Amino acid sequence: MRAAPTILHLDMDAFYASAEQAAKPSLRGKPVVVGGLGPRGVVATASYEARRFGVHSAMPTAQARRLAPNAAYLVPRFMLYRTVSDQVMELLGRLSPLVEPLSLDEAFVDLEAGGTADDTASALAIGEQLREAIEAVTGLSGSVGLAGSKMLAKIASEEAKPNGILLIEPGTERDLLAPMPVRTLPGVGPATADHLRRAGMTTVNDLAEAGEAELVRLLGRAHGGSLHRMASGYDDRPVVAERDAKSVSVEDTFDTDLHDRVRVRSEVERLADRCVQRLRAAERSGRTVVLKVRRYDFSTLTRSETLRGPTDDPTVVREAAARLLESVDTTGGVRLLGVGVTGLADFTQEDLFAQAADERTAAQLAVAAEQGAGAGTDEGGPQDEEPEQESAEQLAARRWPAGHDVRHDTYGHGWVQGSGIGRVTVRFEEPESAPGRVRTFRVDDPDLQPADPLPLVRNPVDYSSWPASLPKSRSGPVSSGSESRP
């Protein structure tokens, strides 16, 4: 525990949904839900307008549609979210060398290590300045918590939501925590909370008064001891600078179970290509390929194969994933498929796998060319089995995901409102324009093409010299629980 509130926790407000509202003027102030839109889709984020209807993250999208039928339902645009996250993390990096990202929209910062704050007043000033900087650079809002420990800083940012700042003065932790539910503490999930409830403990104060020995008896030495210290307000976990990612992976949940083995393999190969794209975007390579298969009965199987060395060759990853699939029984149907690469490295080792794959592909093409020259369409060797075909609606939804960016040769930049019956409906507007007009096109209209997201702020304020140019505030102490909301 620190004597000054120099640990900062930032949590962007309804990040995905807020980014979509910032990008789409027609959705501002309206309920927006971001997530999977199929029958098995799950809500990733809901705007505050949608939350008023009871919609929340991890809820099945079908349930969300029943609660908020008039909300805008959008497929995530991770390219946009990562771009905005990079802008936010760059600002945090200017405050301290110790920044611990927890996700795209959440991070801890050690202000003391960065020399940007060493007391209550300077910490509060930096927190306010950070919120202003984030809004100026990204157009979005974030909530800030400040405290002498990571646990309390995170609690403070949660209490400050939305778009606020809350400082917890060191020395007041025990009184602040006492009435809070046990699930407020890190490491207390639904199962642990239920176990504690059966023992008569529902608040943090109950845990503190129960004593360490009783919590150890109930939960074990490590968990019980840690929980008692946190219930008493003690948390000495340090802010750890960003660690390298340990893996890169992609996965898809299908609207209906896949039964055709050829279709399953084609989906695995498609996922392998997407995984390699992410791998290359991160300028990494990996040596272990992992396949994940969730079957019709929700049983989940994983298989892995370790290569001779790290690679970012799509052919190598595709073939490894296909080999792994051969060892999995998909009888009965497949709900979800995933492909990942672990054992990441900063270099690519030229290996015989890639060379062999290239030679094999060349040989197959040569044989196919010979057969094509000497045989008619009704003759020759056995024909390849045709994969299970997607419906026109499924193909349209895959090409034109709701919420994603498009560009039309005549009407300019827009986003997909929906697609179906061979048509795609587009609203043409940009982040800084007025709400735009809606037009409908054929799904194969040659003038309409997918596009990259536009910046949320066309001319963001330059914070390249921040925070050195911003003086620390030394106006005196701020009382415990100091809070600022717009």
Residue 368 or 193, more confident: 193
Residue 366 or 136, more confident: 136
Largest distance between two CA atoms of the chain: 90
Provide the percentage of residues in the chain whose pLDDT is more than 70.
Answer: 85
Verify cis geometry, omega within 30 degrees of 0, for the bond prior to 181.
no
* Distances from the Cα of 83 to the Cα of 95, 105, 447, 453, 459, angstroms: 19, 11, 27, 10, 15
Count CB-CB contacts under 10 A for residue 324. 21
Count CB-CB contacts under 10 A for residue 226. 21
Rounded to an integer, the average pLDDT of 328-352 is 83
Residue 352 is predicted with a pLDDT of 39
Q: Is 256 helix (H, G, I), strand (E, B) or coil?
A: strand
Q: Is 404 in contact with 391 (CB distance < 8 Å)?
A: no
| Residue of 20, 100, 106, 269 marked catalytic | 106
Verify cis geometry, omega within 30 degrees of 0, for the bond prior to 467.
yes
- CA Rg, the chain, in Å? 26
* CA–CA separation, 178 and 382 (whole Å): 73
CA atoms within 13 A on the CB side of 413: 17
pLDDT 10s digits, 225-279: 999 999 998 898 999 986 667 889 998 888 889 999 999 999 999 999 999 998 8
Residue 12 or 363, more confident: 12
Residue 41 or 375, more confident: 41
Examine the pLDDT at 433 and tell me if it is beyond 60: yes
Estimate the share of the chain in helix, then strand, then coil, as percent rounded to the nearest 5: 40, 25, 40
> Would you call 106 a catalytic residue per the annotation?
yes
pTM: 0.76
* CA–CA separation, 164 and 11 (whole Å): 10
Phi-psi bin for 421: left (phi > 0), alpha (psi -120 to 50), beta? left
Examine the pLDDT at 429 and tell me if it is beyond 90: yes
Strand partners, 165: 144, 484
Task: Report the interhelical angle of 314-326 vs 352-374 (nearest 10°).
Answer: 80
- pLDDT class for 393, splitting at 50, 70, 90? low
* CA–CA separation, 242 and 184 (whole Å): 25
Examine the pLDDT at 388 and tell me if it is beyond 80: no
Two tokens at 195? Answer: 């176990």
Contacts of 471 (CB under 8 A, 6+ apart): none
Q: What is the DSSP string of 116-162?
A: S--SHHHHHHHHHHHHHHHHHHHS--EEEEEESSHHHHHHHHHHH-S
